[in-house]
Amino acid sequence: MTAGMIQMRKQSMPRALRQGMLCTLAAACVWAGGAVGAAPTAAAAGQPGQWYLDAMGVAEMWKVTTGKGITVAVVDTGVNATTPSLRGQVVKGFDATEAAGAETDDYDGHGTTMAEMIAGTGKGGGLQGLAPGAKIMPMRIANTEFQNENKVNAQDSADAIKAAADSEAKIINVSFASEFSTAQERAAVEYAHGKGKLIFAGAGNNAKSGNKPQYPASYPDAIGVASADKKGTVAEHSQHGDNVDITAPGTDVPVWCDDSFKEYCKGSGTSAATAIASASAALVWSANPDWTANQVLRALIDTAGRSWAKGTRSNFLGHGLIRPAQIVVDKKGDPGAPDISPLTNRKTGGSPAASAPPSAPASSQPPKSNTEDGTAVAGSSEKAEKKDDSNTGLIAGGVAVVFVLAGGAFFFLRRRAA
């Protein structure tokens, strides 16, 4: 691990520990609603801190689907395909850095964490993925320290997203964020959306230090993901604004400590929440293979836990807490029109949808108190007092965006992992 990259609580957890952590009834009600009955069943395999597995009702969902048939492209620091949890789970990807190594050379550990959260098998005490039947396609990009030590492709993130769009992957997981938008990256996201892909991106972890819009989450065709804890409380680091579309678990979860892959530590961030959102979509799409990306996302939005009116958005939780069990187990959720984006209300090809009403404006004010909006409603609580014990994201300094200046000089602007 390089200094300043992964910030987490210094509580390491040996990989040999296998027993999952039992969630509370309250957590199950928040994250799964009525899909799991009165109480969670036996804990899922994996690390003890993976509270979200039972809270989201994996035992019941896995009776229907494990995400088989869905490939998720992970645009990140690379994916180590040799960890016990990822053996046999990784397909050929793409190294957009143009540096030494390959897409399976994870120089940080962050990308491997995301991959395991999505599709890990939990073997060897590794992370148990929410969608263990899915496959991972690693798309490696460079972070700041990597680009400082290597000659890298200045447009690696855009190239990685575009390559994922042209691949068999249906879902693109982008667990990083930057204050800086580039025309190439925006075009790549638009291209991927036009190819029928779902692009989940972290909203960012700088809510307490500027809360500036982050990219690619703020692009119209990307799904911005916020982070919350087992009670549905938005993490205080999780950025808010009209770039937040949905919220997923991301607080106090196990992550690889570094690129040695020897142990897990506890971390928090919208990176993890993005991975859980991608895995949720994989489960829904696998269970409904005839749906389009628009329909998968619309059903997730329709069934999200919230206490405000459907069709309106919260600046903190977007459309609410993601609850795939409502779709997979309880068969709820309106998929709607296959060719209309629920994000923009436009046809996937870019034409306006004449019959689709405009999205209601996002709430600009948080609730006045933690109990104001009815925590008895399953998955409904939006909190003004947002809590996260670590007060950090998974990575504090990250992937560089490179701008070419007059005379051919390069100016590097730091992108943070979400």
Question: Can you tell me the distance from the alpha carbon of 44 to that of 46, in angstroms, rounded to the nearest whole number?
Answer: 7
Residue 244 belongs to a domain: yes
pLDDT tens across the length of the chain (418 residues) = 222 222 344 333 333 322 222 334 467 789 998 765 434 444 566 788 999 999 999 999 999 999 999 999 999 999 999 999 999 999 999 999 999 999 999 999 999 999 999 999 999 999 999 999 999 999 999 988 898 899 999 999 999 999 999 999 999 999 988 888 999 999 999 999 999 999 999 999 999 999 999 999 999 999 999 999 999 999 999 999 999 999 999 999 999 999 999 999 999 999 999 999 999 999 999 999 999 999 999 999 999 999 999 989 999 999 999 999 999 999 999 999 999 999 999 998 655 554 333 344 444 333 332 222 322 223 333 322 233 332 222 222 233 333 333 233 333 334 557 7
Q: Are 53 and 61 in contact (CB under 8 A)?
A: no
Residue 13 belongs to a domain: yes
Residue 1 belongs to a domain: no
Catalytic residue, candidates 54, 105, 106, 110: 110
Question: Can you tell me the distance from the alpha carbon of 48 to that of 117, in angstroms, rounded to the nearest whole number?
Answer: 13
**Residue 410's beta-bridge partner residues?**
404
Which range marks the domain in which residue 42 is found?
A: 9-414
Catalytic residue, candidates 76, 106, 156, 252: 76
Residue 2 belongs to a domain: no
- Please name the helix (run of DSSP H) or strand (run of DSSP E) that holds residue 157, with its range, or none: helix 156-165
Question: Can you tell me the distance from the alpha carbon of 241 to that of 369, in angstroms, rounded to the nearest whole number?
Answer: 19
Q: How many domains does the chain have?
A: 1
3-state secondary structure of 139: strand
Query: Which strand ranges, in their side-by-side order, compose the sheet holding 253-256?
Result: 9-14, 263-267, 253-256
- Annotated catalytic residue 76: yes
Question: Can you tell me the distance from the alpha carbon of 43 to that of 243, in angstroms, rounded to the nearest whole number?
Answer: 34
Predicted local confidence at residue 165, as pLDDT:
98
Closest CA to 106 of 130, 121, 86, 126: 86
In Å, how far are 58, 67, 296 from 35, measured between CA atoms?
Answer: 10, 18, 18
Catalytic residue, candidates 157, 175, 178, 271: 271
Predicted local confidence at residue 381, as pLDDT:
32
Secondary structure of 43-89 in the HEC alphabet?
CCCCCCCCHHHHHCCHHHHCCCCCCCCCEEEEEECCCCCCCCCCCCC
Question: Can you tell me the distance from the alpha carbon of 55 to that of 13, in angstroms, rounded to the nearest whole number?
Answer: 21
Dihedral over Cα of 297, 302, 303, 305: its sign:
positive
Q: Are 153 and 96 in contact (CB under 8 A)?
A: yes
Residue 404 belongs to a domain: yes
pTM to 2 decimal places: 0.82
CATH of the domain at 239: 3.40.50.200
- Annotated catalytic residue 110: yes
